[in-house]
Amino acid sequence: MAALKIIWAESVLLLTTLVGICSPVCVEVPSETDAVKGKDMKLLCISCMKREEVFAITNVEWFYKPDDGEDLLIYEYKGGPQEHSSPLQGRLQWNGSKDMQDVSITIINVTMNDSGVFTCNVTRTLHFEVHRHLIQSSKLIHLKVTEEASEDFTSVVSEIMMYILLAFLTLWLMIEMVYCYRKISKAEELTQESVTDYLAIPSENKENCSVPVEE
Instruction: Using DSSP, state whether 25 is helix, strand or coil.
Output: coil
Coarse DSSP helix, strand, coil percentages of the chain, rounded to the nearest 5 percent: 35, 30, 35
Q: What is the pTM of this model?
A: 0.59
Q: Residue 174 pLDDT > 70, yes or no?
A: yes
**CA-closest candidate to residue 117, choices 137, 139, 140, 94:** 140
Other Cβ atoms less than 10 A from the Cβ of 182: the count is 10
- The proportion of the chain whose per-residue pLDDT surpasses 90, expressed as a percent, equals 40
Section 135-147 average pLDDT: 92
For residue 122, the model assigns a pLDDT of 95
- Are 31 and 45 in contact by the 8 Å Cβ rule? The answer is yes
Which CATH number, 3.40.640.10, 2.40.30.10, 1.10.3720.10, 2.60.40.10, labels domain 30-149?
2.60.40.10
Q: What is the pLDDT of residues 52-61, one digit of tens each?
A: 778 889 999 9
Nearest-angstrom CA–CA distance, 4 and 14 = 15
Q: How many helices (H) and strands (E) would you count in the chain?
A: 2, 9
Is the pLDDT score of 192 beyond 80? Answer: no
Q: State how far Cα 32 lies from the chain centre.
A: 12
Residue range 83-107: mean pLDDT, rounded: 93
Domain borders along the chain are 30-149, 156-208
Is the per-residue pLDDT at 10 higher than 90? no
Amino acid 96 reads G
